[in-house]
C-alpha cells in the first residue's frame, strides 16, 4: 500500500521536473505553473505514503515514535521528500519558476532510487530498530542531515543554472534561455544563501551525531567513514564560504567550489554505504 | 605568520586535511580492519609498505595526523587573533584599510565613494535642515541603530551629534544586524574550544573495554573498582533475528562499598562521579554454566570443574573449559570469536587402568574428538564414551568505561559553535550612510547602502528606506528633487 502511493509521487516528481525543463525553453507560464502543481501533488502523495510507512514501522513496538529512516529505502524516500519540500519553500520565497528544471531532477532521482531499492528487495524495508538506534536523536540527527543534503542539492541546481547563464552572457549568441534565467547576481546570492543554510544544518547534524555517539559509546568521534566524509563535506563547504566571504569569490568560481561540496554530499550519502559498517545502509550491519 | 593567516593557505590546509581524511576512509584502518590491512599489504606490497611506513593503516592516530589537527586549531586561533571582529569603523564597507586625518577627513574621502555605490539615493529639500530629524526618526522607527559618524565638535542636529567635515557635511551611519560580526569570532573560538576539550579528554581522561560474564566480577585498570554483572539480558527480533535489546545489571564496587548500580542499556549509561559505563557489546564467553551429556541411555548434567561418574561405567568425567568458536591454529586449540559457531568442550576423562585423558569434544562433530597433550598440542582421538547433548554457555557483556574531563567544555564548544554560525549566517548585517549638507539654503541628503550579503539582498529594503527618507524630507517642506540609482 505504501508503494501504491509512493510510486505516483516518484512519477509526479519526474513529470514536474520534465515540465520545468520544457518551461526553460518556452515563454508559456503554464508549464511552470503545472510543474509546481504536480510537485505539490507529488509531495502530498509522498506524505501520505510516508504516513503509511510510519504506521507499519510503529506496528513494531520497539519502533514507536521513531522516524523510519534506518534503511536505505527509508532514507532515500525521506531525502526525496526533503528535496521537494525545500524546492517548494525556495520557489515560494523567490518565485523564480525557472529553477525547477535544475532542482526537481534531484527529487526525482532520490525517489527513483528508493523505488529501485524497494523493487530489488521486494519490500520497503520495515524492520525493528537495533538498540543503538533507539534514541530520541534518531528523530533529529538524520532528519537534520537530510534537510542539509536537500539544501545542498537545491544549491547545486541553482549553481548549474548560474553556470548556464554565465555561459549565455559570455557567448556571442545568447539564446532565449538567457532571458528566462534570473540574473547572475540573483542566482549567486541564492546559491550562497542556500549553501550557508545547508552548512549550518550540516554542522548542527554532525554535532548532534557526536553527542549521540557520546551517549551511546562514550566517544564523540570515531572516524567511521560516514563521520569522516560528513566532516570532509563540511570542510569543503567551509572552504567555499571562506573563499566567498574573505576572498570575495562570486559567480562561476564559487559555483565550482559549491559543486565540489555537493559531490562530497553524494559520496557521503551513497558511496560511504559501501565503506561504513556503523552507518552503512547497504552493508546490512 | 603571514602565511598561516592567509586565506589561500587556510583553504589549502582545509583541502589537504580533507584529502588525508578521505585516504583514511578507503585504506583499511587497524585495529578494526587488521585482516583487511594484511590483505591489502599482501595484494599491493610496495604501496602497502609505503602506507605502512607512513602510518596510514592507523592514520587517524598517527603523530602526523595529530600534528595536522594541531596546525588546524592553531591556524583557526591565529586567524581570529590577527583578524579581530570588525570594530566600530563607521566606514567599513566603503573605505578600506587604515586612514590618516581623523573622521572629518574620512568623510571627505567617503563622499565620492558613496556616489559609486549601486545602492545610492539623493533627497533634496529647499529651506534648510529641519527635515533631517524626521529622516533619522524614520530609521530609528524601523529598528536601525543610528549613530553619528564621530564625536566631532560641531553641529547638533535633531537631538543627535554629528561630525562636521571641512566641507560642512553632517554624517550618520545606520546599522542593522551588527551582531552578525561576532558570529565568525564565536564560531572560530568554539572550534578551538572543541579541539582543546578533545585534547583534554585524550590526555586526562581514559577509556577501557571490560568484558565481564554474568555472575562474575572484573577489575578496572584506571580505578580501584570492580564491575559486577548480576544479570545480562539479550533479546532478538523474531522476524530477522537482529538484536532487539541487550542490557546489563551492573554494580560498581569500591572494595566492599557499592558506589553505583544500574541496569545499563545502549544509549543509557551508568555515571559514577564522571566515570561512565556504557553497554557496548556482548558475546559468548569462554566459560559455561552447565553441560548436559548422555551415556548408556542416561543423561547427566556436568558443572564446571566438578567430577561426575559416567552412567553404566566406572569412568568419570570433568568438564574443564569451553570455547564458542573452536579451531586448531598451529596444532593448538584456539578460539576464533565470541559467537557460538563451533562450540567445543574440554573434558578430563578418567578410565580404570588407563592414564587420565584430556579431550576436546566438538558439539557439531559428536563422533570425533581431539586429544590434548601436556604441551597443549592436539591430535585426533577416538570418540569419548558419552555424547554432549548441549552446553549452556555464559554470556559476557562488553562494558565500555570512559572518563572524559573535557565533556562539558566540548558541549559548551558545540553550543557556541552553533550560536556563532546562527549569528554568522542567520543575521543579515547591513548599513546605510546618511550624509547631509546645505548649500544655498537647500538641504541635500545622500544615502548609500551596503550589505554583507551583497547589494542584491539589500536592494528592496534600501529602496524602501530611501522612499521613506524622501517622504520625511518632503513632509518637512517641499522636496525639490529626488532620485538616485537605489531609488530608481
DSSP codes joined into one string, B214-243: TT-EEE-SSSS-EEEEEEEEEEE-TTT--E
Residues 6+ away with beta carbon under 8 Å from A210: A220, A221, B414
Q: Give yes or no: residues A144 and A277 share one domain.
A: yes
Q: Please tell me what DSSP assigns to residue B422.
A: I
Q: Give yes or no: residues B55 and B123 share one domain.
A: no
Question: Residue B443 forms beta bridges with which residues?
Answer: B125, B438
Query: pLDDT class for B486, splitting at 50, 70, 90?
Result: very low
Closest CA to B25 of A228, A170, A195: A228
Q: Give yes or no: residues B30 and B108 share one domain.
A: no
Query: pLDDT class for A284, splitting at 50, 70, 90?
Result: very low
Task: Quote the pLDDT of residue B311.
Answer: 85
pLDDT digits (tens, 9 = 90+) for B415-425: 999 999 999 99
Interchain contact, A131 vs B243, CB within 8 Å: yes
Task: Quote the pLDDT of residue A43.
Answer: 95
- Mean pLDDT value of segment B150-173: 53
The residue that leads in pLDDT, A164 or B441, is: A164
Q: Is the dihedral of CA B304, B306, B307, B311 positive or negative?
A: negative
Work out the mean pLDDT of chain B and round it to a whole number.
Answer: 86
Q: Give yes or no: residues A114 and A246 share one domain.
A: no
% of chain B at pLDDT higher than 70? 89
φ/ψ bin of B443: left (φ > 0), alpha (ψ from -120 to 50), beta (otherwise): beta
- A 10 A CB-CB count for A165 gives 24
Query: pLDDT class for B154, splitting at 50, 70, 90?
Result: very low
Q: Final residue of a domain: which of A97, A115, A133?
A: A133
What pTM, to 2 d.p., does this model score? Answer: 0.85
- Report the distance separating Cα A66 and Cα A74, nearest Å: 12
Chain B: residue whose CA lies nearest to A186: B456
Q: Give yes or no: residues B307 and B383 share one domain.
A: yes
Out of B75-79, B264-268, B337-341, the most confident range is B264-268
Q: Final residue of a domain: which of A76, A108, A133?
A: A133
Q: How many domains does chain B have?
A: 3
Residue A237 has pLDDT above 80, yes or no: yes
Q: Give yes or no: residues A264 and A146 share one domain.
A: yes
Residue B88 has pLDDT above 80, yes or no: no
Q: Give yes or no: residues A162 and A283 share one domain.
A: yes
Please tell me which of the candidates A132, A189, A220 has its beta carbon nearest to residue B453: A189
Q: Which residue has the cell 505553473?
A: A33
Q: Is the dihedral of CA A122, A128, A129, A131 positive or negative?
A: negative
Question: Residues B214, B231: contact at Cβ < 8 Å?
Answer: yes
Interchain contact, A207 vs B417, CB within 8 Å: yes
Q: Does A174 touch chain B (CB under 8 A)?
A: no
pLDDT digits (tens, 9 = 90+) for A53-70: 999 999 999 999 999 998
C-alpha cell at position A49: 505514503
Closest CA to B128 of B472, B437, B461, B341: B437
Question: Residues A198, A148: contact at Cβ < 8 Å?
Answer: yes
Query: pLDDT class for A245, splitting at 50, 70, 90?
Result: confident
- Closest Cα of chain B to A55: distance in Å? 18
Q: How many domains does chain A have?
A: 2
Distances from the Cα of B308 to the Cα of A155, B316, B349, B361, B419, angstroms: 75, 5, 10, 16, 70
- A 10 A CB-CB count for A3 gives 18
Question: Residue B318 forms beta bridges with which residues?
Answer: B307, B348
C-alpha cell at position B301: 548434567
Chain A: residue whose CA lies nearest to B418: A204
- Closest Cα of chain B to A248: distance in Å? 10
- Find chain B residues with C-beta within 8 A of A237's C-beta: none
The answer to the question of residue B350 being in a domain is yes
Query: pLDDT class for B208, splitting at 50, 70, 90?
Result: very high
- Report the distance separating Cα B72 and Cα B83, nearest Å: 16
DSSP structure string for B330-375: TTEEEE--SS-SB-EEEEEEE-TTS--EEEEEETT-TT-EEEEPTT
Lowest model confidence (mean pLDDT) among B226-235, B359-368, B426-435: B359-368
Residues spanned by the domain of B343: 286-392
Q: Give yes or no: residues A116 and A201 share one domain.
A: no
- Mean pLDDT value of segment A175-180: 83
C-alpha cell at position B86: 570588525
C-alpha cell at position B93: 564597507
C-alpha cell at position B325: 568458536
Interchain contact, A223 vs B29, CB within 8 Å: yes
C-alpha cell at position B286: 569462554
Question: Residues B391, B399: contact at Cβ < 8 Å?
Answer: no
C-alpha cell at position B366: 559428536
Counts of helices then strands in chain A (DSSP H, E) = 9, 0
Q: Give yes or no: residues B121 and B78 share one domain.
A: no
Counts of helices then strands in chain B (DSSP H, E) = 9, 26
C-alpha cell at position B407: 565533556
B residues 369-388 lying closer than 8 A (beta carbon) to A: none
The answer to the question of residue B400 being in a domain is no
Q: Give yes or no: residues A139 and A89 share one domain.
A: no
% of chain A at pLDDT higher than 90? 68
Q: Is A26 exposed, middle or buried (0-12, 13-18, 19+ CB in 10 A)?
A: middle
Residues spanned by the domain of A276: 135-285
Lowest model confidence (mean pLDDT) among A20-24, B239-243, B347-351: B239-243
Dihedral of the CA atoms B413, B415, B420, B421 (nearest 10)?
110
- Mean pLDDT value of segment B1-27: 90
Task: Quote the pLDDT of residue A95.
Answer: 73
Residues 6+ away with beta carbon under 8 Å from A138: A66, A67, A69, A70, A129
How many residues belong to chain A? Answer: 285
Query: pLDDT class for B481, splitting at 50, 70, 90?
Result: very low
Among B11, B245, B457, the residue to mutate for chain A (most A Cβ within 10 A): B11
Q: Does B278 touch chain A (CB under 8 A)?
A: yes
Question: Residues B462, B114: contact at Cβ < 8 Å?
Answer: no
Cβ-Cβ contacts under 8 Å between A and B: the total is 126
Q: Give yes or no: residues A178 and A262 share one domain.
A: yes
pLDDT digits (tens, 9 = 90+) for A74-105: 999 999 999 999 888 888 777 777 778 888 99
Q: Give yes or no: residues A14 and A64 share one domain.
A: yes
Q: Final residue of a domain: which of A109, A133, A157?
A: A133
Longest dimension (CA), chain B: 133
C-alpha cell at position B482: 529626488
Task: Quote the pLDDT of residue B124.
Answer: 81
pLDDT digits (tens, 9 = 90+) for A124-159: 888 899 999 999 999 999 999 999 999 999 999 999
Question: Residues A84, A46: contact at Cβ < 8 Å?
Answer: yes
Query: pLDDT class for B462, splitting at 50, 70, 90?
Result: very high
Q: Is A17 exposed, middle or buried (0-12, 13-18, 19+ CB in 10 A)?
A: buried
Interchain contact, A232 vs B22, CB within 8 Å: yes
Residue B367 has pLDDT above 90, yes or no: no
Question: Residues A107, A17: contact at Cβ < 8 Å?
Answer: yes
Lowest model confidence (mean pLDDT) among A271-275, B22-26, B229-233, B286-290: A271-275
Among A133, A235, A249, the residue to mutate for chain B (most B Cβ within 10 A): A235
Question: Residues B458, B474: contact at Cβ < 8 Å?
Answer: no
Interchain contact, A130 vs B410, CB within 8 Å: no
CATH, residue B148:
3.30.160.110
Residue B158 has pLDDT above 50, yes or no: no
Please tell me which of the candidates A223, A232, A243 has its beta carbon nearest to residue B18: A232
Residue B145: asked if its preceding bond is cis (omega within 30°), the reply is no
Question: Residues B133, B158: contact at Cβ < 8 Å?
Answer: yes
Task: Quote the pLDDT of residue B229.
Answer: 96
Residue A278 has pLDDT above 70, yes or no: no
The answer to the question of residue B122 being in a domain is yes
Residue B477 has pLDDT above 60, yes or no: no
Please tell me which of the candidates B7, B198, B426 has its beta carbon nearest to residue A247: B7
Please tell me which of the candidates A185, A200, A207 has its beta carbon nearest to residue B456: A185
The answer to the question of residue B95 being in a domain is no
Q: Give yes or no: residues A62 and A145 share one domain.
A: no
The answer to the question of residue B355 being in a domain is yes
Residue B165 has pLDDT above 80, yes or no: no
Residue A282 has pLDDT above 70, yes or no: no
Q: Give yes or no: residues B35 and B130 share one domain.
A: no
Residue B97 has pLDDT above 70, yes or no: no
- Mean pLDDT value of segment A213-236: 93
- Closest Cα of chain B to A14: distance in Å? 32
- Report the distance separating Cα B72 and Cα B67, nearest Å: 9
Work out the mean pLDDT of chain A and round it to a whole number.
Answer: 90
- Helix then strand then coil, in percent of chain A rounded to 5, is 75, 0, 25
Q: Give yes or no: residues A190 and A202 share one domain.
A: yes
The answer to the question of residue B356 being in a domain is yes
Residue B282 has pLDDT above 60, yes or no: yes
Interchain contact, B14 vs A186, CB within 8 Å: no
- Report the distance separating Cα A264 and Cα A270, nearest Å: 10
- Report the distance separating Cα B323 and Cα B337, nearest Å: 9
Residue B160 has pLDDT above 50, yes or no: no
Q: Give yes or no: residues A152 and A178 share one domain.
A: yes
Q: Does B10 touch chain A (CB under 8 A)?
A: yes
Q: Give yes or no: residues A157 and A39 share one domain.
A: no
- Mean pLDDT value of segment B182-196: 94
pLDDT digits (tens, 9 = 90+) for A105-127: 999 999 999 999 999 988 888 88
The answer to the question of residue B193 being in a domain is no
Task: Quote the pLDDT of residue B156.
Answer: 37
Chain A: residue whose CA lies nearest to B452: A245
- Report the distance separating Cα A44 and Cα A67, nearest Å: 18
Q: Does B366 touch chain A (CB under 8 A)?
A: no
Q: Give yes or no: residues B467 and B382 share one domain.
A: no
φ/ψ bin of B97: left (φ > 0), alpha (ψ from -120 to 50), beta (otherwise): left
Q: Please tell me what DSSP assigns to residue B62.
A: S
Interchain contact, B426 vs A186, CB within 8 Å: no
CATH, residue A283:
1.20.120
Amino acid at each position: 500500500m505504501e508503494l501504491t502511493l509512493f510510486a505516483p509521487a516518484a512519477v509526479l516528481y519526474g513529470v514536474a521536473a520534465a515540465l520545468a525543463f520544457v518551461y526553460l525553453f518556452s515563454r508559456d507560464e503554464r508549464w511552470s505553473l503545472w510543474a509546481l502543481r504536480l510537485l505539490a501533488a507529488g509531495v502530498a502523495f509522498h506524505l501520505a505514503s510516508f504516513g503509511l510507512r510510519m504506521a507499519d514501522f510503529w506496528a513494531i513496538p520497539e519502533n514507536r515514535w521513531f522516524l523510519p529512516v534506518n534503511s536505505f529505502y527509508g532514507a532515500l524516500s525521506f531525502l526525496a521528500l526533503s528535496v521537494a519540500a525545500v524546492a517548494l519553500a525556495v520557489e515560494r520565497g523567490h518565485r523564480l519558476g525557472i529553477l525547477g528544471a535544475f532542482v526537481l531532477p534531484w527529487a526525482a532521482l532520490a525517489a527513483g532510487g528508493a523505488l529501485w531499492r524497494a523493487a530489488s528487495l521486494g519490500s520497503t524495508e520495515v524492520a525493528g530498530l537495533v538498540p543503538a538506534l533507539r534514541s530520541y536523536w534518531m528523530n533529529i540527527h538524520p532528519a537534520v542531515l537530510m534537510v542539509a543534503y536537500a539544501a545542498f542539492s537545491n544549491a547545486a541546481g541553482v549553481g548549474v543554472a548560474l553556470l548556464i547563464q554565465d555561459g549565455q552572457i559570455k557567448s556571442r549568441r545568447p539564446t532565449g534561455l538567457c532571458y528566462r534565467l534570473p540574473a547572475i547576481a540573483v542566482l549567486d546570492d541564492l546559491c550562497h544563501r542556500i549553501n550557508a543554510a545547508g552548512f549550518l544544518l550540516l554542522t548542527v547534524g554532525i554535532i548532534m551525531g557526536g553527542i549521540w555517539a557520546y551517549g551511546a559509546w562514550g566517544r564523540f568521534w570515531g572516524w567511521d567513514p560516514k563521520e569522516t566524509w560528513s566532516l570532509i563535506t563540511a570542510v569543503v563547504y567551509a572552504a567555499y564560504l571562506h573563499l566567498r566571504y574573505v576572498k570575495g569569490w562570486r559567480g562561476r568560481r564559487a559555483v565550482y567550489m559549491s559543486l565540489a561540496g555537493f559531490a562530497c554530499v553524494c559520496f557521503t550519502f551513497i558511496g560511504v554505504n559501501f565503506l561504513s559498517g556503523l552507518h552503512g545502509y547497504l552493508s546490512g550491519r | 605568520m603571514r602565511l598561516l593567516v592567509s586565506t589561500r593557505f587556510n583553504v589549502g590546509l582545509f583541502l589537504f586535511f580533507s584529502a588525508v581524511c578521505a585516504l583514511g576512509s578507503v585504506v583499511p584502518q587497524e585495529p578494526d580492519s587488521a585482516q583487511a590491512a594484511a590483505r591489502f599489504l599482501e595484494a599491493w606490497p610496495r604501496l602497502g609498505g609505503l602506507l605502512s611506513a607512513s602510518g596510514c593503516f592507523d592514520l587517524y592516530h598517527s603523530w602526523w595526523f595529530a600534528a595536522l589537527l594541531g596546525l588546524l586549531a592553531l591556524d583557526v586561533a591565529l586567524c581570529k587573533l590577527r583578524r579581530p571582529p570588525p570594530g566600530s569603523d563607521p566606514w567599513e564597507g566603503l573605505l578600506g584599510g587604515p586612514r590618516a586625518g581623523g573622521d572629518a577627513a574620512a568623510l571627505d574621502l567617503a563622499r565620492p565613494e558613496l556616489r559609486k555605490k549601486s545602492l545610492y539615493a539623493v533627497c533634496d529639500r529647499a529651506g534648510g535642515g529641519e527635515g533631517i530629524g524626521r529622516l533619522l526618526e524614520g530609521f530609528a522607527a524601523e529598528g536601525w541603530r543610528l549613530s553619528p559618524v564621530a564625536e566631532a565638535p560641531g553641529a547638533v542636529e535633531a537631538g543627535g551629534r554629528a561630525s562636521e567635515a571641512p566641507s560642512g557635511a553632517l554624517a550618520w551611519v545606520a546599522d542593522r544586524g551588527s551582531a552578525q560580526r561576532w558570529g565568525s569570532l564565536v564560531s572560530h573560538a568554539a572550534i578551538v574550544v572543541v579541539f582543546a576539550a578533545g585534547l583534554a579528554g585524550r590526555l586526562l581522561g581514559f577509556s577501557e573495554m571490560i568484558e565481564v560474564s554474568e555472575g562474575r566480577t572484573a577489575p578496572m585498570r584506571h580505578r580501584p573498582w570492580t564491575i559486577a554483572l548480576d544479570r545480562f539480558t539479550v533479546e532478538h527480533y523474531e522476524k530477522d533475528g537482529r538484536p532487539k535489546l541487550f542490557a546489563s545489571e551492573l554494580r560498581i564496587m569500591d572494595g566492599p562499598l557499592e558506589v553505583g548500580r544500574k541496569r545499563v542499556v545502549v544509549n543509557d549509561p551508568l555515571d559514577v562521579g564522571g566515570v561512565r559505563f556504557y553497554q557496548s557489546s556482548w558475546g559468548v564467553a569462554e566459560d559455561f554454566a552447565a553441560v548436559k551429556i548422555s551415556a548408556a541411555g542416561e543423561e547427566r548434567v556436568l558443572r564446571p570443574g566438578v567430577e561426575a561418574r559416567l552412567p553404566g561405567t566406572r569412568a568419570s568425567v570433568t568438564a574443564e573449559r569451553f570455547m564458542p568458536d573452536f579451531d586448531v591454529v598451529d596444532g593448538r586449540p584456539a578460539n576464533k570469536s565470541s559467537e557460538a559457531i563451533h562450540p567445543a568442550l574440554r573434558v578430563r576423562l578418567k578410565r580404570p587402568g588407563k592414564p587420565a585423558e584430556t579431550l576436546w569434544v566438538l558439539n557439531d562433530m559428536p563422533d570425533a574428538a581431539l586429544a590434548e597433550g601436556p604441551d597443549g598440542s592436539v591430535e585426533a582421538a577416538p570418540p569419548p564414551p558419552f555424547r554432549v547433548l548441549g552446553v549452556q554457555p555464559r554470556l559476557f557483556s562488553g562494558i565500555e568505561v570512559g572518563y572524559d574531563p573535557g565533556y562539558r567544555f566540548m558541549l559548551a564548544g558545540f553550543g557556541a559553535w552553533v550560536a556563532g554560525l546562527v549569528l554568522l549566517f542567520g543575521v543579515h548585517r547591513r548599513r546605510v550612510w546618511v550624509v547631509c549638507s546645505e548649500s544655498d539654503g537647500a538641504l541635500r541628503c545622500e544615502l548609500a547602502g551596503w550589505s554583507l550579503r551583497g547589494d542584491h539582498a539589500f536592494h528592496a529594503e534600501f529602496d524602501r528606506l530611501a522612499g521613506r527618507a524622501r517622504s520625511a524630507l518632503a513632509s518637512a517642506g517641499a522636496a525639490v528633487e529626488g532620485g538616485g540609482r537605489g531609488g530608481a
